[in-house]
Every structure is written in C-alpha cells, then in structure tokens.
Chains A and B, each alone.
Chain A
Amino acid sequence: MSTTSMHGGGIAIVGASETTEIGSLPGISTLDLHAQAARNALADAGLTVQDVDGIATAGPFAHEVSHHLGITPRWLDGTMVGGCSFMLHVRHAAAAIAAGAADVVLVTHGESGRSRVGVGGRGPNPASPQGQFEAVYGANTPYSTFTVPALRFLHERGLEREALAQVVVAQRAWAIDNPRASRRTPTTVEAVLDQPPIAWPFSKDMCCVVTDGGGALVLMSSERAADLPSADRAVYLLGSGESAEAPMVSQMADPGSFRAFRLASAEALATAGITHADVDHLMAYDAFAHLPLYMLEDLGFVGRGESRDFIAEGNTGKGGVLPMNTNGGGLSYTHTGMYGMFAIQEAVRQLRGEAVVQVPGIRTSFVQGVGMFFAAAGSLVLGNRRP
C-alpha cells in the first residue's frame, strides 16, 4: 500500500512538454494538439502510453483523449474550470497517486484557439445565468468580460491605467529573447497606452495573444520516479490549493480582490510549509494585464496597492527579487484559450534549468492559475529538490 503524501515532494512531474510548435497551426485539430503534447511529454519522461493508467484533461472529455492515445485508464479526471483546470488536475492526480488510485497520470491540454480547427461553438448557454444576465449586455468575449472589474481595482488603490501598461512592458522584456514567443518587439508604457482601445481601459497589448498549441505533464510517485532515466530532471509538488467563487464576473463579492486567489494560494503555501520569502519564481496567469496586479496582492507577495510599483521598479524582471512570467506570459508568449498548462510548463523548465530565458538558482516556483474569468483558481508550489 502507498504511504506517499500528495504534498511535500512525494509526487513528481517526470515528463513535461509543449507541442512541437505553438502559434498558428491550421494543420492540427484541437484533439491532435492534445495527442502531440502527450506523446512529447511521455517521450520526455522516457515512458510510453502503455505506462499510463490515469488521464486528466479539460476541453475534450478525458475518455476522448485516453481513447485517442490508446490508453486504458483506471482513473479519469475531467475537471473543467477553464484555464486553471490543469493546476487542479496536477493537484487531483497527486492525491490519486498518493491514495493508490493511479500510478502514472497524464495531464493534457491542446487548443486550436487561433485557427479553430475541430472546435465547437462559442458562447454560454443563453438559458444559463451567464447567458441571461451577462451575455445580453454584450459581455460575451473574454476581453469584454474578464476586464470589467479592473477599473475598480485601480480606483481603490489610486492607480491609473498606466499600471496595466507597466505589466505589459515588464513581461515583454522576458519575451524579447524567446523565439517561441508571439510578441517580441520591445515596447514602452507610452506606446502601450497610445494603442487604440479594445475594451477601454484595455488596449491591444494589455490583452493576451490568441494562439494554437498544447502541453502535457506526466506525474508519478517520487519513489518510482527515482528509477527513471530522467530522475535528475524530476520536479516535485510541494503544495497546492484550489477554490472557486462565482461563474459570473458581476457576482464576485469584491471586484477589487478575488477570494479564490486568496484561498487557493494560502492553502498552497500552507501545504508546502513555506512562506513567500521561500518563493524565487512566480508564474501569474495573465490573460489580461490586470491579473498579475490582483495576484501579487491577493497572493500576499506585496501589500495592498503595492503591485504597480513592485513591477515598475523591476522586481519581477531579470535580476529582480521575484522573476515573474519568465516566458513572456499570456500577454507575450502564447495563449491558446487555456493558458494554465503553459504556466506550469515554464515553471518546470525553470526548475530543471532548461528555460529559454533561464533564471539562475531557482529552487521553488509558485504557479497561480485563474479560470473562467474570475470564477476559479488553482495554485501549485513546485520545487526541484525533495524537502
């Protein structure tokens, strides 16, 4: 019987890969983006589909992906909370492996977000609360819905929309040297502010790129991982948390702070047994430029109202105390529609020392996801050593 804990390093990510290419991929369907990422991640781990007995995914059903790949699962997780689903999948997979309900779990993401190959229809069910009470007002795209609370956040802190532009500039600096990133041109606060508005106060570069791509992860017990050829590249789950609030942006209790960020991140730090000072790399899911501001404050890395200055003073950039979104983030690197998988991939690369723009000396990475606009959150604490 298993005596492994889901946290504290008992569970390892032993395989991690994105699709071979990301960006504009009109020749691959959503389902086969899952498959390509999965096969890449298994190869990265030195495993095959025959080794996999657990599958977790969001978008397609879990059984669609397992059958497509030729996996016979004894554990499935189809938790779908938008772009942070994969943080929850990692957390659930760790619990399942620790409980003996699965041995080798594959977590997959693929989405033809740009080319829309093999994708279903858009928009909410018109009889759902979102359909009746938000979509009727034209709040029917991410950029016209997820963005709505941002002015209140800024107003309560005495900030201007310039704070959003600071986020864009900080993250672009990470993307400039990354050939896989979609937006690599250096920019300035003034240039970002001067762009035509998409949904004021948001200009184009304050909104994420829209791409095709995927990614996958392979998890197993750290005890078993030690026998793999890739053992020295294992990344360990130290802690995790998840939460959800309202499925409608208009119903979040406080538009200037997201309860699920506060709860999920606190549980992740507590289960890892660490404090903010122990974290030396942060992935903060940035579908839009206000999200890193919310996250820095709601996760407790800075005090209320301090997020803009923290970024503007260079603390999240190269050589800063908390390198953040080191792939360029959703704003500059890639965003298929569910970015969480890419945030985890970058944390794994940094912890392995294999990132395109590598930060030296990283031991502990905090990955914060958000999903279905301000509906759900998932947090992971990952490390490259077992405590």
Chain B
Amino acid sequence: MKFRITHITRYEYQLPVSLCHNLVYQVPVNHSFQQVDKVNYNIQPAPHFLATREDFFSNKFIYFSIEEFHKNLSVEIKSEVEVTEPVWINTVPKNTMPWEDVAIWLRSSGAGSDIKQFYLESPHISFIPGVKEYALESFTPGRPIMEAMLHLNSRIYNDFDFTPGFTDISTKLEDVFLYRKGVCQDFAHFSLACLRSIGLSARYVSGYIETLPPPGKPKLFGSDASHAWIALYIPGVGWVEFDATNNMLVNTLHIRTAVGRDFADVAPLKGIVYSGAGQRMYVNVDVSRV
C-alpha cells in the first residue's frame, strides 16, 4: 500500500514572536514493513538554522530555529511511504509464548537493553494502582502473549471512550484510567502501563492512519491528526503493533514516524517561543492512497 502524507502544523501568535527553537518528530523512517520514498518539508518563515538528527531510539528529527519576528509559524511535511504487510499478520496468536515466560526472558541476559528499556517506567507511564489488576484479567496464567494482548486491546477499546478534547498531554494516566476517556495517545499510554506493570516490554509508536476510508468502510479514529499506538515485544516475532483506539492489529493502514518510551520521547512538534502572549495551534493531516 502506498500513501502520500501531508502534515501541516500552524501556530498563530497573539503577539509577534522574536525567537523560537523547535524539534519536529514527523519524518517517517524506513522500517521492516515500511519504505519511505520521498520526504519534503517546508517551514515558514524560513528557519535560520535547521539540522536533521537521529535520536537515541533511531528516530529522525528536525531541529530548527527562527530568529526574526514572526506572527505565524507553519511546518509542513510531505512524504510518500510504501507500507507492506507485517510479518505478525501470519502469526497464530495461540502459538506464541506464554506471557510469563516472556517476562522472565526479558530479565535474562539474553535480552538486550534495546528491548529491556521498554519495560521500565517512563515520563508518562508509571505503575499506578489498579493497572496491573486490569491487565491481569487478560493476561491470565499461561496464556499466549499475543492472544492475551489482543484480548486486552479489545477490552481497552470497549471500556474507554474516544473523547477528543477531554484530555491533553498533561493529563495524568490516573485520570485517564478513572474517567475512561481519552484520545489515541491516552489509549496507547494506558496499554503501555498495563503491559509494563506485568513486566513486558512495550513501546509507543507515533504516526498516521489512512484518512479517507475505502468506499463503504467507516472513517477511523485519529485520522485527522497524528495517531499513536503501541508495539509489544514478542520473542520470535519482534515488535508487534496493536492499535487499541481502533481495536486492531496493525496491518497496512498505519504509517510510522517514531518510536519511544512514550509521547514525551516523540512529541510531533516541540517548541519554545519567546513572546509576550499566547498562541493558537491548528493541525491538519491528510493521508491518502497513491
């Protein structure tokens, strides 16, 4: 499947901004099941300084600064990405390892720190009371890890309401759990908290999902902005991706831009501006088949 993605972020400032420094995590990267053909970016006003870097998790990011007065900032990233069917589509869930064995293996010297690091707590993910118990309802003793995960995925989908505007990135996981409401990043964070609290390695994936549904199919959640889901490490298969917001095993509709411990590692656009007043932000994402 080949997609063309356009991601536009616009900031309007009440008063002119004299200086801004930004980090952009919106550049799709090559991945086992994803080939990036083209990336173009257009930042207005033109940055004084721009550098493309690779971070600790091998994501690509752009650092740029604008050092003249401006009232608007627009960051536009266009890319063409070809997505192929991931290997886990052919994995039979009930043939995967019992989840406890995975947890034990993760603590052995057989697992490298590149995998282990994702079972620890992180800025947005902590072992809050109740989450482990919630997870254990799906992760029953001896259950194959992928089967249990699919079960957890659909429970989260059913138990939580997709409610844009209810939460933002500073909302605590405790509150997401309490109110059972949120958007894709909350669903992803909650999934991660469940998995890490029972000792499994799971990471945050940010990216996009197809915007215009094929005829006759419903439009998917998270399609008008950047999307987020998770990847669980399953020995023998690798990082397997699950989207709790849409209750699905990720196939060819998702395009990845970055992975990290949680949102904090891969926020699509981070910035510090110097200004006398506030700002408004508009995000526009379009994903269409080529």
Partners in one complex: no
Residues of B in contact with A (beta carbons under 8 Å apart): none
Residues of A in contact with B (beta carbons under 8 Å apart): none
